[in-house]
Chains A and B, each alone.
Chain A
């Protein structure tokens, strides 16, 4: 039977990662956040995305080294990332694979504050 249950509401913990300039435009970097590898991407308009760096298809930590791009879905451009290993592509907003809709990359909160990039993990 259930015993003690946490009463504190879940909170997002923010971790400071790097300067915005350290992320190449239309490219990505990999960050270590609480033992988790997070791939962060920067668009040409300085919008940021953060997803798990682990490619579920090749099972290697490589997503940040993939090619950033977009694809048209239902008439609108969706940002995507292609794994460098087998070129599987994922929706950067939802983390969903375009090749196998049942496969997802974990999505992380990301924000820009005073030129610094922060990753938020919900605990």
Chain B
């Protein structure tokens, strides 16, 4: 038997074993852990990025900062940052959540900024003419108009966080990436393959669910322009 088919067979056998899924620390547990970590990281990132992005967009300041953030975040090697955190003594799931949130902030901040910034100037003008204060303009005019972009940003962010968490498994973090890291460490390549398939499936499933969510979150009049 050639090696590749052997690996595929191993992966199928492993995936077909009910115990793989239901044992403590099995696939179901790891998936739940993965999703909990995702929720925590996205919530932390959103708590920082949405208010800051909204305020920068409203006041029109910080365009340079936003551009710099987008570019810098692309050049950052995620793995290096996670390993540096580990070397600094930050381990396990908390460290993973912090690292994932750190990488989630730029996308969400830029989308919120662009959304608020790009609100129709006429609408903003009309709101000011009606005597709305700056805060009310932001909350009742600009942010609703920015919903499309914020929702798109949230979707990208969530998928990105789900994809980042497995990397942290290389540094001892939890979640589905553990299957890949463990398989690599013990040279059970069937499990590596199975872990890869599970992580990929989780990402695609979440992206599909969020695509529907994004459409629901977009106010009907804005849907056509969102394409």
Whether chain B is bound by chain A comes out as: no
Chain A residues proximal to chain B, CB less than 8 Å: none
Chain B residues proximal to chain A, CB less than 8 Å: none
